[in-house]
Amino acid sequence: FAAAFEVFQTGVLANEFVGLPVAETLMREFEEPFQLYLDGDMTLDEFLTTAQDAWMGHFE
């Protein structure tokens, strides 16, 4: 854990999207169906499938 903490101290906190070429698109394609899920307008399976399908086009 000490070595991991040293690496953490030398770095900069960033979210998992930072640095990806389509970061804003990825966040939007995740957040929009996630909001529908939170509002009860989409099931968990529908949300996950929708987000994954949208993302796969960027990573193929």
Tens-digit pLDDT profile for residues 5-50: 888 888 777 776 676 678 889 989 999 999 999 999 999 999 999 9
- In angstroms, the CA 6 to CA 18 distance is 21
Amino acid at site 38: L
Please tell me the predicted confidence (pLDDT) of residue 28: 92
In a domain, residue 41? The reply is yes
Please tell me the predicted confidence (pLDDT) of residue 17: 67
Domains in the chain, number: 1
In a domain, residue 11? The reply is no
In a domain, residue 6? The reply is no
- Domain of residue 53: give its range: 16-59
In a domain, residue 10? The reply is no
State the pTM of this model: 0.64
Please tell me the predicted confidence (pLDDT) of residue 4: 82
- In angstroms, the CA 1 to CA 33 distance is 37
In a domain, residue 8? The reply is no
